Chains A and B, each alone.
Chain A
Amino acid sequence: MALQETQILEAYRTMRTIREFEERVTAEFEKGGIPGFVHVYDGQEAVATGACMHLTKDDYVGSTHRGHGHCIAKGCDIKGMMAEIMGRATGLCRGKGGSMHIADIDQGMLGANAIVGGAPPLAIGAALSAKTLGTKNLSLSFTGDGGSNQGTVFESMNLAVVLQLPTIFMYENNGYGEHTGAAYAVGCGDIAGRAEAFGMPALRVDGLDFFAVYEAMQEAVDRARSGGGPTAIEASAVRFNGHFIGDPQLYRGEGELDRLRRDSDCLKIFSKRVIGDKLLKKSQLNAIDREVAVLIDSAVEEGFAAPFPAESELLTDVYSNY
């Protein structure tokens, strides 16, 4: 099904929002305004956007420690996310989760997850709920190349096949698990092939190309919603930053980052394509850029103005009843 103009505009807005969000988070972190450990997603926008555009609010997404982009693409509130990353009471998790635990169950976001390989078991659980309750909903887990080596991921793939669950395993291979290359750590070098061996269809896609991700997801979503079981997708991607903000990235080759930012920027690739194919005009993209910049500015401003959680919050919500 060809994408409508409004959908293409929406895709660009999501990708631009993720980029702007992550660049501002990085800048504010470097200025000392954001506490903790922060892992940013810029460079991989096409994957989250192309994948989540197929989902409704009632579909579930499980994410990673590098989860801001997935949250934005799944529809989490931008200002609530920024305030959460800043540890404020107005944050999506009232300041008690932080960057690595942003979640919004009402939006179908099961959470960023600071345990590598954390999402797949939870996401197949959401798929089990959908199957048992007879909804047509599905779940999608994001896992990096690093996470793809975790036992939880293997077990989840096997369970999804055994129980024929409506779920999609999205592997974002950005070339690095923390400070170690995927070329070293993924033994067989082929994440999709490994998934296939578990007994599910596996697709390989250029994760820099929003349209390619969107198309692959269409096939996976159709299979899941029609009771055809799980699908795996390996999207090749790039990480524009270190493992965390502040990572000196000594593992990068000379000129690698400059090359990636010049030749492998999914936003540039998207813009060139939609303008070249006359799907959108440059002026439409510029207008979105301006709107996104205003949104992120106000998210940062409101975040810094918001209060930190009160001392009384320390012991609330450990349990639902005591």
Chain B
Amino acid sequence: MSAYPHQAKLERMTAVIETTGLTKTYGAVRALDGLSLSIPRGGVYGVLGPNGAGKSTLFRILLGLIRPTAGEVRVLGQHAGDPAVMRRIGSMIETPRFPPYMTARQVLEWLALAHGAKDAAIDAWLDRVGLTEAANRRVRGFSVGMLQRLGVAAALMTKPDLVILDEPTSGMDPPGIQEMRALIRSLADDDGVTIILASHQLLEVQRVCDRVAIFNRGTLAAEGKVSELTAAGERLRLSATPLAKIMNVLGDKATLDGDAVLAAIPRAEGPALLRALIEQGVDIDEARWVGADLESVFMAETGPARTDAQVREALHAG
């Protein structure tokens, strides 16, 4: 029998989250603007977007902390805010805070009582997030990274079917980030938990997520498998001499990348291009397909960042 009690029901469910026309306004500000999104069951789902894109607002609605202005949202097949559904969700929104007079173990004992989780394996979870040695220390002395770990343990110890993590690696050192990544993957792969996480660390998201949604100004800018999104920007990287000849052959499909050329062509045209270049006397040292990273996709969908010159100009103007 699975350690996760609702697993069988989840097997029959295709989407854990479904929103239709979800809108949330704060005065004149539209934090979410008619968002329609379906998050499939299983795996790790990344929610990306610049600050103010609506990620945290979506999470807060999912967790019943705020109510949407319009639209519908279903969580695990039920209306968001349904207590029966809420008990199947674990969450950590931003850097968690805890009563400072409590130790790490006491925090988990308190939350286990609050959640009615009498069988919560508190010591096992403290161990799993690397807080065994700090278990009896008061949380008022904890670093941000330690608070994050404790927050993750608090989110997971009730064996939820769905876990929502907002910036789970914020404030963590590199080994901590690596451990957290492994923990998230193991929960998704071994325990069958669906994990939704938001992060600004795009490399981490690319490494750990199966699918991502990119938000921009409260709307869905892009959604899909990480491999599919990054494949759309796939290019052939050629280290060869002379570069000028390659540039002539490819025209505006070529861009310089250090001492190599990136050719924006479909994968099927690769062999023909290589033959053509060899016939023209180009000496090819290396040719390999490189995918676009998630950062490129993100920037393409949300608009470019300001250039160094623009930042300097803004500083001088200020």
Q: Do A and B bind each other?
A: no
B residues bordering A, Cβ < 8 Å?
A: none
